[in-house]
Amino acid sequence: AIRLNQVGFYPAAPKVAVIAGDAGDAFEVKDAKSGKTVLKGKLGAERTSQHSGKHTRLADFSTLRKQGSYIIEVAGLGKSAPFRISNKVHRDVAEAALKGYYYQRASIELPEKHAGKWARPAGHPDDKVLIHASAVSEGRPANAVISSSRGWYDAGDYNKYIVNSGITMGTLLSLYEDYPLYFEDFNTNIPESNNGVPDLLDEVVWNLRWMLTMQDPADGGVYHKLTNPRFDGMIMPDAAKNPRYVVRKGTAATLDFVAVMAQTSRVFKNFDNKFPGLADSCITAAVKGWQWAGKHPAVMYNQEAMNKEFDPDVVTGAYGDRSVKDEWIWAAAEMYATTGKPEYIKEVDLELQQPMALPTWGQVKTLGYYTLLRFAEKLKLPAEQSGALRKCILNYSDQLLTDLEKQPYHTVMGKVAQDYAWGSSSVAANQGVALLCAYRLSKDQKYLHAALGNLDYLLGRNATGYCFLTGFGSKRVMHPHHRPSIADGIVDPIPGLLSGGPNPGQQDKCAGYPNKFADESFTDNDCSYASNEIAINWNAPMVYLAAALEATLK
Ligand code: 9MR
């Protein structure tokens, strides 16, 4: 009944626990070792979850600043597991969440030296990938077999999807661009560690090299995904031998690819000595993709329609979109930021008068806003434009903060029911990323603290009581819908992976959901792909949030 960030707290930052259940009025914080009381406090006024109607009260122990290991005790209710107050308290979280990508690598063995007890043989070489019939109408011929190895597995399944790689790469690269110094000393023990390049970028290169192979050199269009026709069983990567295809080129995939290539080109320009020619290859690929998209400005990926026309049927993750307006904005912004050529954004409506849209795989325009704001000075954006961008982020953040004092878990996450969508953990993390942008723009601590509140949410201060990052917390996620974690015979799941989180849609019809309340609709069960899968696009804002808070609060 005592819900709190199960990892810990920064000495100088706010610290709250949420008491769910009927308790008296008081709480005590005690030294975990000696049992000595170090702080006594009164619980705050009752708050109510709009989702379940359940009541909570806050235990605020922000005044406790001394580093150490503690527990919270509430008379009549019991005590929490030990937690830390310490500098760099989320460093392990940030490192593990980035290391999560290493475990998702396709086409490479993970030796014990880097993977510990989760060592495994290489899976999915992807060196003989077929071209699906949906993808041969133009460009490469039908009988071609291509090599498209490397990349990260998307999620709990073994397919590789360009659209979802897009937002993932964009988020990780933005983290690097926003906090480059932080990554100078950040070692995740991957094979490339100590090569003079930040591990974050080395990890990104693994997926980048795969993405580059997804562009049809004949015309510049980008395949939507590399996939089996149907999902693999619950087996280890090396046991999966089904044929793999690249399928239909589309505008969303191509523009996401363009955005990523433009951004990588910009970032890797500074590492030309380590990756000779990479930055140039990326911008060349970006320009070719941009030209293809110009000729095919709205080719949507519609899997059902595709299956009516072409064989074999493909039933894996669709990542289909209805509008590519936002992909145009993101791609244009990245092309402009990298090349400095204003013609890239001239033709595109940036939609700056509309409310901000939190990034998801299907709505990426805000990634473009982040980039334009990051380079506003360098690009000499007109004051009107940079002002509108600023307002957009700040208005959104202010709206999130409204009524924070009434929220049962004292977090902006979950204020509206829609927050609890499939992958709700990424909503919490992406809100945190937006709030950090608002903080950088305004230097107002309320945004920084609200971002921290969302990390607290993800690490345990929520209506389920779970810490959603595998490998962390006293109430851990142990059974994510993640093939290697299920098939490897090891009790602990692969660490550093963010579980999707509460989703009242319950599309998996899995047994074990406690109820239908939006904020509690979660089950730590490996059949629950709708609430307990992991995914690269969810881990990225988690890495961002944890690392950026570490870089800021230290
Ligand atoms: O994250 C995706 C979510 O927004 C969609 O509602 C859901 C259903 O289409 O699919 C999710 O993405 C899954 C993808 O299609 C296949 N790999 C696993 C992804 C995470 O569950």
Q: Please tell me if the CB atom of residue 501 comes closer than 6 angstroms to any atom of ligand 1.
A: no
Contact predicate 480/490, CB 8 Å:
no
Q: Report residue 201's pLDDT band, with 50, 70 and 90 as the boundaries.
A: very high
Report d(CA 344, CA 341) in Å as an integer. 6
Instruction: Compute the distance from residue 534 Cα to the ligand 1 centre, in Å.
Output: 10
Q: Which of 312, 330, 313 is nearest to 321 (CA)?
A: 330
Judged by DSSP in three states, 534 sits in strand
Lowest mean pLDDT among 90-99, 127-136, 317-326, 392-401: 127-136
**Residues constituting the chain:** 554
Query: Whose alpha carbon is nearest atom 15 of ligand 1?
Result: 317
> DSSP characters for 272-331?
TTTSTTHHHHHHHHHHHHHHHHHHSTT----HHHHHHHSSS---S-----S--HHHHHHH
Report d(CA 94, CA 553) in Å as an integer. 13
Q: Please tell me if the CB atom of residue 155 comes closer than 6 angstroms to any atom of ligand 1.
A: yes
Q: What is the pLDDT of residue 220?
A: 96
**Structural domains of the chain ordered from first start:** 91-350 (1.50.10.10)
| pLDDT beyond 70 at 484 | yes
Contact predicate 537/168, CB 8 Å:
yes
Q: What is the pLDDT of residue 139?
A: 66
Q: What is the mean pLDDT of residues 479-501?
A: 98
Judged by DSSP in three states, 247 sits in strand
Q: Which of 59, 65, 63 is nearest to 79 (CA)?
A: 59
- Report ipTM for this prediction: 0.98
Q: What is the mean pLDDT of residues 266-294?
A: 98
Instruction: Compute the distance from residue 312 Cα to the ligand 1 centre, in Å.
Output: 21
495's tokens: 């660490």
461's tokens: 């201060």
Instruction: Compute the distance from residue 156 Cα to the ligand 1 centre, in Å.
Output: 10
Atom number of ligand 1 nearest to Cα 157 = 17
Q: Please tell me if the CB atom of residue 480 comes closer than 6 angstroms to any atom of ligand 1.
A: no
Percent of the chain scored above 90 by pLDDT?
97
Return the best residue to mutate from 158, 163, 164 for the ligand 1 pocket (most ligand atoms within 8 A of CB): 164
| pLDDT beyond 80 at 143 | no
Instruction: Compute the distance from residue 317 Cα to the ligand 1 centre, in Å.
Output: 6
Q: Please tell me if the CB atom of residue 538 comes closer than 6 angstroms to any atom of ligand 1.
A: no
Residue in 126, 199, 327, 524 annotated catalytic? 524
Query: Whose alpha carbon is nearest atom 5 of ligand 1?
Result: 422
| pLDDT beyond 80 at 263 | yes
Residue in 203, 256, 326, 533 annotated catalytic? 533
- The three-state DSSP-derived secondary structure of 466-529 is CECECCCCCCECCCCECHHHHHCCCCCCCCCCEECCCCCCCCCCCCCCCCCCHHHCCCCCCCCC
pTM score, two decimals? 0.98
Q: pLDDT tens, 13-41?
A: 999 999 998 778 999 999 999 999 999 99
Q: Please tell me if the CB atom of residue 334 comes closer than 6 angstroms to any atom of ligand 1.
A: no
Q: Please tell me if the CB atom of residue 529 comes closer than 6 angstroms to any atom of ligand 1.
A: yes
Query: Whose alpha carbon is nearest atom 8 of ligand 1?
Result: 317
- What are the two backbone dihedrals, phi and then psi, of residue 150, each rounded to the nearest 5 degrees? 70, -160
Instruction: Compute the distance from residue 105 Cα to the ligand 1 centre, in Å.
Output: 19
Q: pLDDT tens, 519-545?
A: 999 999 999 999 999 999 999 999 999
Q: Please tell me if the CB atom of residue 157 comes closer than 6 angstroms to any atom of ligand 1.
A: yes
Query: Whose alpha carbon is nearest atom 3 of ligand 1?
Result: 422
Contact predicate 532/526, CB 8 Å:
yes
How much is the CA Rg of the chain, to the nearest whole Å?
Answer: 23
Q: pLDDT tens, 51-101?
A: 999 999 999 999 999 999 999 999 889 999 999 999 999 999 999 999 999
Instruction: Compute the distance from residue 20 Cα to the ligand 1 centre, in Å.
Output: 31
361's tokens: 């795989």
Atom number of ligand 1 nearest to Cα 319 = 15
444's tokens: 């107002």
Q: What is the pLDDT of residue 126?
A: 98
- What are the two backbone dihedrals, phi and then psi, of residue 254, each rounded to the nearest 5 degrees? -65, -45
Instruction: Compute the distance from residue 529 Cα to the ligand 1 centre, in Å.
Output: 9
309 counts as catalytic: no
Q: What is the pLDDT of residue 346?
A: 94
The neighbour count for residue 62, using CB atoms within 10 Å, is 14
Query: Would strands 8-9 and 83-85 be described as parallel, antiparallel, or unpaired?
Result: parallel
Helix (H) or strand (E) holding 544: helix 536-553
524 counts as catalytic: yes
Atom number of ligand 1 nearest to Cα 154 = 17
What is the average pLDDT score of the chain? Answer: 97
List of E strands, 159-244: 160-161, 223-227
- What are the two backbone dihedrals, phi and then psi, of residue 526, each rounded to the nearest 5 degrees? -75, -5
Q: What is the pLDDT of residue 22?
A: 79
Q: What is the pLDDT of residue 311?
A: 93
List of E strands, 183-302: 223-227, 245-249
Q: Please tell me if the CB atom of residue 534 comes closer than 6 angstroms to any atom of ligand 1.
A: no
To 10 degrees, what angle do helices 365-374 and 251-268 make? 20
| pLDDT beyond 90 at 136 | no
DSSP 8-state secondary structure symbol assigned to residue 222? B
